[in-house]
Amino acid sequence: MSKEIVVIIGGPGTGKSTIIDALVAKGFCCYPEISRQVTLEAQKQGIEQLFLENPILFSELLLEGRKKQYQNALNETHNIVFLDRGIPDVLAYMHYIGDAYPESFEQACIEHKYTKIFILPPWQEIFVSDKERYENFEQAKKINLHLIETYQKYGYQLIEVAKDTVDKRILFILDEISK
């Protein structure tokens, strides 16, 4: 079996982190979403919402972090590595806010290819806003559309994970990977 670098994507509040946490509990190698970490670091420096105040800097930090995650995933001893979001997410969010970005962002998407992409659809019943998640549900649905468009632009076939229990969602994902 070759190395599987699997990305779980979706708009805010779709259950990505819950699935990643459950996969970790089952012994799978998973890399967490790094935007919260970037946001918290900025807040420590007095910048309340870096993504809103300086989207390019925020996105550059995310891009570097996600490239590093990709390289680390390649070097893992595990055959399957799950990532909470991938490099094209950065571009999708930039499209969402309508900001331009350097050519290097596009190049990063071309140079770093994932094995499979699972997308979690917007799910109002589990959607919650918090200190790091400023979007409302309508915005989350728009972000979801930008994610679909961006990943498809780079040739990915997205596999939608139905709204269901965490265990059933994980079983579906594992079954799709084994195909």
Q: Closest by alpha carbon to 173, among 8, 13, 1? A: 8
Give residue 130's pLDDT. Answer: 64
**What is the arithmetic mean of pLDDT over 125-147?**
82
Between residues 34 and 134, which one has the greater pLDDT? 34
CATH label of the domain that carries residue 15 = 3.40.50.300
Tell me the per-residue pLDDT of 23-76, one tens digit each, with 9 for 90 and over. 999 999 999 999 878 888 888 888 777 777 888 888 999 999 999 999 999 999
pLDDT > 90: what percent of the chain? 68
Query: Is 80 in a helix, a strand, or coil?
Result: strand
The mean pLDDT of the chain is: 91
Answer whether 23's CB lies under 8 Å from 170's CB. yes
Provide the terminal-to-terminal Cα distance of the chain, rounded to the nearest Å.
12
Number of domains in the chain: 1
Residue 6 bridge partners (DSSP): 82, 116
Q: How far is CA 10 from CA 54, 79, 105, 115, 164, in A?
A: 23, 24, 20, 17, 15
Record the tokens describing residue 176, joined without a space: 């799709």
pLDDT-derived band at 173 (thresholds 50, 70, 90) equals: very high
Q: Which domain holds residue 151?
A: 4-177
Q: What pTM was computed for the model? A: 0.92
Tell me the per-residue pLDDT of 145-172, one tens digit each, with 9 for 90 and over. 999 999 999 999 999 999 999 999 999 9
Task: Please say if the pLDDT value at position 1 is more than 60.
Answer: no
Cα separation, 121 vs 45, in Å, equals: 34
Record the tokens describing residue 98, joined without a space: 């309508």
Give residue 52's pLDDT. Answer: 73
Between residues 123 and 36, which one has the greater pLDDT? 123
Give residue 46's pLDDT. Answer: 85
